[in-house]
């Protein structure tokens, strides 16, 4: 810089040379310093890291808004404690009302107007699909998307997009593995919702059974979300004489299925997808007595479970909520979700050090090794690699006993790619 | 007395000289046009994208304005026509490999047919009852798009990703800017055509039906034909807007075309001024930007803030942007006299 400045004509040539050599000398001396030089992409600076987020605060999916509110509170905590490597998090979150055209508008606003470093945890499969191509062409990380679809684990075609939670296919793969081990001669009846979510689950299950799928599955029955009741499907499934029932349904239908099973006196080994494993919205309405012995899976700690009363991770969570988000509904599973996914981002940004380029963020996000967080069940670890963009792929099987889920067996993992 | 008649009879501009009151003066039009042409040269791509969406929703509001402001029929089903247009363009581009520009007239024609046919049974209804029938259409549309039978074409819940076109002939401009000017040309074309339509014989027939159906038919206006025609034209323009929207957003999915969109368009029309075509762009600006403003005021209460802002607008200027324009015009007139 000094040497190139225009107003230096009065400087003699020797002086210039001296300055130049001095500069070169300095450069050589601090070569190690040059390597560790601070590197920034838009959205990062010495004092700040801008994180973008898109969430449905309004509209039909507004219940998910809690996730971003928890994240916002968590980054407030991070900032109060000094930020990440001395940089404060500026968390910018916009509402898309779960409408893909609005998601595109908000994503462009985040990238082109606010100039965020990463777009973090945008929610929903259609909204994320709408912005995936755009963010990948702009080379902006679409990090830890809040959807369980399997297609986010596709580093080859979409190197800037990464999922977070266990995907649907991993989950049913785990059930399939369990069935192969515990009940190799099972006759399996499946009920699934006829859309992308149901089909994703179904595919994982069949992949998990492998070659035995054709002989073990006696009936694949599908229903439409618009149907008022699924009773007739349950009757049909029972008639096949199946002794294993894989229940891939959303909460309302899951409750109906559990109830109808009891009415018919059909008692197969019942697998319920984790989407509907909520005690409050599914099991209780269906009746505790009807839900005994149902198997499902979890990866986050359930805050109402008395087992975690003295758990360190749960204590930290409670302290965080007391201080930064006291109005939170602690029974709401999304609070734990938002807390844990925000911690994962914190980990990634910390490991970026002073190299806060978008490329390095993706690189660090793709090299997480055995990360354990307070909100995750013991034994569940976050792992990623250049070819594995599915951070959480382990699950804990749980069985319903009395009025709560009981964990059993080891942590299982299913590996499903997009 | 239906709500439609109330709105229409209260509107002072409609009582006066309807043909003139529906448009802007030449001078004002040129100023607005110049602003729309020059502005994108100075702003970021994101703003250009927003301006493109402004024009696209403006077109959709204009279409509703022809239907409600012109022929006095209510519709809460515009999102359905918008969706059909969007999907037509998206499917033709992605599955058939057709040029994006060619898909728009096809989207328009298909929607015209769809609207015209829907107008047939809807003829028996008027006012709020018609609004309810179209509401049903808007509610049904997202589910129809998810149906398994069409999934191969529509992509089901996942929707379809659309490729954004580059500027042709090696023009030195980005995709966003090209799409903006492309949209601007189409918008101007449709706007001019709509103004001419309302000034023509057909337009007078629309307005005669709006003002008094019995009198209109006594004068020899084929009420059934012109009512369905108004539906067809409105749906056709909405379809073109939908097609443009699909290209600009690069994605179509059932969740983008819910009843919320239909209500937004309706809102845009009322805020812009029922029956005042230039108000469409003001209405469109309202539905795009005011939710963002509301959100910046309070995230948790964005819906409530939006409601308050909307209430203020309707309370202070019940005839929307048209009223503001008229007042401004009168003040300018007074200044000139002095």
Judge whether A10 lies within some domain. Answer: no
Q: Are A292 and A304 contained in the same domain?
A: no
Crossing angle of helices A168-182 and A196-209, rounded to 10°? 40
pTM confidence score: 0.79
Chain B residue whose CA is closest to A58: B303
Residues lower than pLDDT 70 in chain A: 1-36, 60, 415-418
Last residue of a domain, one of A298, A328, A354: A298
Looking at the predicted complex, does its ipTM rise above 0.85? no
| Chain A closest-CA separation from residue B253 CA (Å) | 7
State the DSSP H helix or E strand holding residue B245, giving kind and residue range, or none if neither.
helix B223-249
- Number of structural domains (chain A) is 2
Give percent above pLDDT 70 in chain B: 92
In sign, the C-alpha dihedral spanning B226, B228, B231, B237 is negative
Q: What is the CATH number of the domain that holds A328?
A: 3.40.50.2300
On whether residue A274 sits in a domain, the answer given is yes
- Contact flag A129-B251 (C-beta cutoff 8 Å): yes
Nearest-angstrom CA–CA distance, A56 and A75: 19
Q: What is the DSSP letter of A94?
A: E
> In terms of domains, do A94 and A174 share one?
no
Residue A184's φ and ψ, nearest 5 degrees, are -65, -20
Domain boundary among A273, A298, A323: A298
Same domain, A64 and A104: yes
Where is A92: in which H helix or E strand? strand A88-95
Whether A280 and A173 share a structural domain: yes
Q: What is the reported pLDDT for A24?
A: 53
C-alpha distance from residue B16 to each of A248, B10, B12, B277 (Å): 63, 11, 6, 16
Q: Which residues of A touch B258 (CB under 8 A)?
A: 60, 99
Task: Find which of A100, A136, A222, A224 to mutate to test the B interface (most B CBs within 10 Å of its CB).
Answer: A100
pLDDT for A87: 94
Q: How high does pLDDT run on average in chain B?
A: 84
Same domain for A198 and A272 = yes
Residue A134's closest CA among B96, B86, B45, B39?
A: B45
φ/ψ of residue A190, rounded to 5: -120, 135
Flag whether A276 is in a domain: yes
Strand order in the sheet with A118-120: A88-95, A48-55, A118-120, A142-143
Reduce the DSSP state of residue A97 to 3 states and report it: coil
Residues B269, B283 contacting (CB under 8 angstroms): yes
> The domain containing residue A275 runs over which residues?
168-298
Q: Do A256 and A137 fall into the same domain?
A: no
Q: B260, A99: Cβ pair inside 8 Å?
A: yes
One domain for residues A208 and A292: yes
> How many CB pairs (< 8 A) connect A and B?
90
- Domain boundaries defined on chain B: 3-258
Choose from A42, A96, A101 for mutation: most chain B CBs within 10 A: A101
Interchain CB contact of A42 with B (< 8 Å): no
CA nearest neighbour of A300 among A70, A69, A59:
A70
User: What six digits make up the tokens of B47?
Assistant: 């703003």
Residue A23 resides in a domain: no
Q: pLDDT value at position A363?
A: 95
For A40, A248, B34, B239, the CA distances from B39, given in Å and listed in that order, are: 31, 52, 8, 27
Supply the pLDDT for residue B8: 43
Alpha carbon A50 to chain centroid, angstroms: 20
Do A172 and A287 fall into the same domain?
yes
B198-233 pLDDT per residue, tens: 889 988 898 898 888 888 889 888 888 888 889 899
B278-290 pLDDT, tens digit per residue, is 889 999 999 999 8
Pairing mode, if any, of strands A48-55 and A88-95?
Answer: parallel
Alpha-carbon distances of B155 from A235, B94, B149, rounded to whole Å? 31, 11, 11
- Gyration radius (Cα) of chain A, Å: 25
What confidence score (pLDDT) does residue A318 get?
93
Give which of B311, B200, B240, B326 is closest to B58, Cα–Cα: B240
A382, A414, A366, A336: which is closest to A162 by C-alpha?
A366
Task: Give domain status of residue A66, yes or no.
Answer: yes
Helix or strand run (H / E) with residue A130: helix A125-138
What's residue A10's pLDDT? 45
Q: Which contacts (CB < 8 Å, 24+ apart) does range B139-148 have?
A: B139/B259, B140/B80, B141/B79, B141/B80, B141/B83, B141/B84, B141/B254, B141/B257, B142/B83, B142/B254, B142/B255, B142/B257, B142/B258, B143/A226, B143/B254, B145/B83, B145/B87, B145/B254, B145/B257, B146/A195, B146/B254, B148/A194
The distance of A270 to chain B (nearest Cα, Å) reads 28
User: Strands, E, within B112-165: which ranges?
Assistant: 160-161
Q: Does A407 map to a domain?
A: no
List, for residues B231-259, the tens digit of each pLDDT value: 899 999 999 999 999 999 888 988 888 88
List all residues of chain B from 211 to 270 with a beta carbon under 8 Å from chain A: 245, 249-256, 258, 260-261
Span between the terminal Cα atoms of chain A, in Å: 49
Q: What is the mean pLDDT of residues B131-154?
A: 82
Tokens 């067809």, residue located: B232
């Amino acid at each position: 810089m000094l040497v190139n400045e225009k107003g230096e004509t009065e400087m003699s040539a020797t002086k210039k040379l001296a300055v130049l050599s001095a500069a070169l000398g300095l450069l050589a001396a601090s070569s190690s310093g040059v390597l560790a030089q601070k590197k920034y992409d838009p959205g990062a600076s010495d004092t700040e890291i801008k994180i973008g987020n898109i969430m449905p605060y309004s509209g039909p999916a507004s219940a998910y808004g809690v996730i971003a509110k928890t994240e916002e509170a968590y980054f407030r905590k991070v900032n109060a404690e000094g930020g990440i490597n001395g940089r404060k998090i500026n968390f910018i979150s916009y509402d898309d009302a779960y409408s893909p055209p609005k998601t595109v508008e908000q994503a462009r606003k985040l990238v082109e107007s606010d100039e965020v470093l990463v777009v973090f945890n945008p929610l929903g499969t259609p909204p994320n699909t709408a912005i995936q191509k755009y963010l990948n062409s702009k080379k902006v990380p679409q990090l830890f998307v809040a959807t369980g679809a399997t297609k986010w684990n596709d580093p080859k075609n979409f190197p800037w997009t990464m999922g977070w939670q266990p995907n649907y296919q991993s989950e049913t793969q785990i059930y399939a593995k369990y069935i192969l081990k515990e009940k190799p001669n099972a006759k399996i009846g499946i009920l699934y919702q006829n859309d992308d979510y149901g089909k994703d689950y179904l595919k994982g299950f069949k992949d998990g059974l492998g070659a035995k799928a054709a002989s073990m599955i006696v009936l694949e029955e599908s229903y439409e979300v618009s149907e008022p009741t699924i009773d007739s499907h349950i009757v049909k499934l029972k008639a096949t004489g199946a002794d294993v029932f894989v229940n891939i349904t959303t909460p309302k239908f899951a409750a109906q299925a559990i109830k109808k099973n009891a009415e018919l006196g059909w008692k197969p080994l019942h697998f319920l997808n984790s989407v509907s494993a909520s005690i409050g919205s599914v099991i209780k309405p269906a009746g505790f007595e009807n839900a005994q012995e149902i198997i499902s899976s979890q990866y986050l700690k359930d805050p109402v479970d008395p087992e975690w009363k003295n758990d360190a991770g749960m204590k930290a969570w409670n302290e965080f909520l007391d201080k930064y988000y006291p109005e939170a509904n602690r029974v709401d599973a999304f609070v734990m979700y938002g807390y844990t996914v925000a911690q994962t981002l914190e980990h990634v940004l910390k490991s970026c050090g002073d190299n806060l380029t978008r490329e390095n963020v993706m690189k660090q996000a793709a090299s997480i090794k055995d990360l354990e967080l307070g909100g995750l069940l013991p034994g569940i670890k976050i792992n990623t690699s250049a070819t594995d963009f599915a951070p959480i792929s382990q699950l804990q099987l749980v069985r319903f006993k009395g009025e709560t889920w009981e964990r059993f067996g080891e942590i299982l993992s299913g590996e499903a790619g997009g | 007395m239906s709500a439609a008649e109330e709105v229409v009879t209260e509107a002072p501009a409609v009582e006066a000289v309807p043909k003139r009151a529906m448009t802007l003066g030449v001078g004002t039009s040129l100023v607005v046009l110049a602003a729309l042409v020059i502005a994108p040269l100075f702003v970021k791509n994101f703003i250009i994208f927003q301006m493109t969406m402004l024009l696209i929703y403006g077109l959709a509001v204009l279409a509703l304005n022809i239907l409600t402001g012109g022929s006095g029929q209510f519709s809460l089903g515009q999102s359905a026509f918008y969706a059909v247009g969007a999907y037509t363009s998206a499917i033709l581009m992605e599955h058939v490999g057709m040029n994006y520009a060619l898909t728009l007239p096809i989207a328009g024609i298909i929607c015209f047919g769809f609207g015209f046919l829907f107008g047939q049974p809807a003829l028996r209804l008027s006012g709020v009852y018609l609004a309810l029938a179209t509401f049903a259409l808007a509610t049904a549309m997202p589910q129809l798009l998810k149906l398994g039978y069409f999934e191969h074409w529509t992509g089901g819940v996942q929707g379809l990703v659309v490729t954004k076109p580059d500027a042709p002939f090696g023009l030195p401009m980005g995709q966003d800017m090209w799409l903006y000017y492309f949209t601007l040309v189409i918008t101007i074309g449709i706007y001019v055509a709509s103004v001419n339509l309302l000034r023509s014989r057909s337009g007078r027939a629309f307005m005669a039906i709006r003002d008094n159906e019995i009198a209109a038919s006594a004068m020899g206006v084929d009420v059934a034909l012109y009512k369905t025609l108004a539906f067809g034209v409105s749906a056709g323009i909405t379809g073109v807007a939908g097609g443009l929207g699909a290209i600009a957003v690069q994605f179509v999915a059932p969740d983008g075309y819910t009843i919320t969109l239909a209500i937004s368009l309706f809102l845009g029309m009322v805020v812009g001024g029922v029956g005042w075509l230039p108000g469409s762009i003001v209405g469109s600006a309202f539905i795009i930007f005011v939710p963002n403003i509301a959100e910046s005021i309070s995230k948790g209460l964005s819906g409530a803030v939006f409601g308050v802002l909307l209430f203020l607008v309707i309370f202070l200027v019940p005839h929307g942007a048209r009223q503001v324009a008229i007042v401004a015009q009168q003040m300018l007139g007074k200044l000139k006299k002095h």
